[in-house]
Structure 1
């Protein structure tokens, strides 16, 4: 460093060649923030949205239809890819909230684990969780009473003093 250069010297041109030193401080600050905001925006667009759990109860009709169609497509892929029997995923799964929720959560987990930004071991973690989820799905199918050749609404046990039979 020669005597003409010092760390406290007035800033010269930025890396892009522009000299922001002549701008009023508030304008200079805004000028420096714009590229940062653009970077954050571009990064968010490139990475996409992080899969989140779906709360089915408050969904408006248009969102409900969209999410159900997406889930149905994924469930169809899942049962074909893994050769799942009707004891795990029956044809009328969508009529049973317990199956819909389990499959929805499994799909969201799959989306997260197979995202392009996921760590390398996430696929293995998903398959571990999928094995456990298959056992839960078998339990849900048994409880619901839905089968390959027939369906009925999931039975709800009446509690004493609870809902009136209707």
Structure 2
């Protein structure tokens, strides 16, 4: 078992791969590719919500319907992936956690403005 395999197992992500991360420009994606990327991102968002016990006030269940939340979570996912590449610096995960705090503040702020709850999506208030 390689170090990468051990890391994936420890992070409870066995069966996934940590390829070199690529920055996603959601604006430029074809709809079918965007759907595939969103599915991949959803897996990671489910994991990070569970791992860090994030609640609906940070990441509401309808997050995928709000562009600002998709963009923030996608950027955070790319950053997280880069931190665990084989050639990453040992300090990179610390940097991720430092910046995670800032990202969670932004997510909480946007989620508050959107007004969505654990059980209701409020599209009438628009997007971020």
TM-score (norm 2): 0.79
Q: Which residue of structure 1 aligns with residue 101 of structure 2?
A: 131
Q: Which residue of structure 2 aligns with residue 86 of structure 1?
A: 56
Structure 1, unaligned stretches of length 5 or more?
A: 1-47, 158-166
CA contact (8 A) 1:109 1:126 kept: yes
Q: Which residue of structure 1 aligns with residue 113 of structure 2?
A: 143
Higher gyration radius (CA): 1
Q: Which residue of structure 2 aligns with residue 121 of structure 1?
A: 91
Q: Which residue of structure 2 aligns with residue 28 of structure 1?
A: none
Q: Which residue of structure 2 aligns with residue 62 of structure 1?
A: 32
How many residues align structurally? 110
Instruction: Check if 1:99 corresponds to 2:94.
Output: no
Deviation at 1:62, TM superposition (A): 2.3
Q: Normalized per residue, which structure has more helix?
A: 2
Deviation at 1:113, TM superposition (A): 1.0
Q: Distance in 2 between matches of 1:154 and 1:133?
A: 25
Q: Distance in 1 between matches of 2:27 and 2:124?
A: 18
Structure 2, unaligned stretches of length 5 or more?
A: 1-17
Question: Segments of 4+ in structure 1 off by > 6 A?
Answer: none
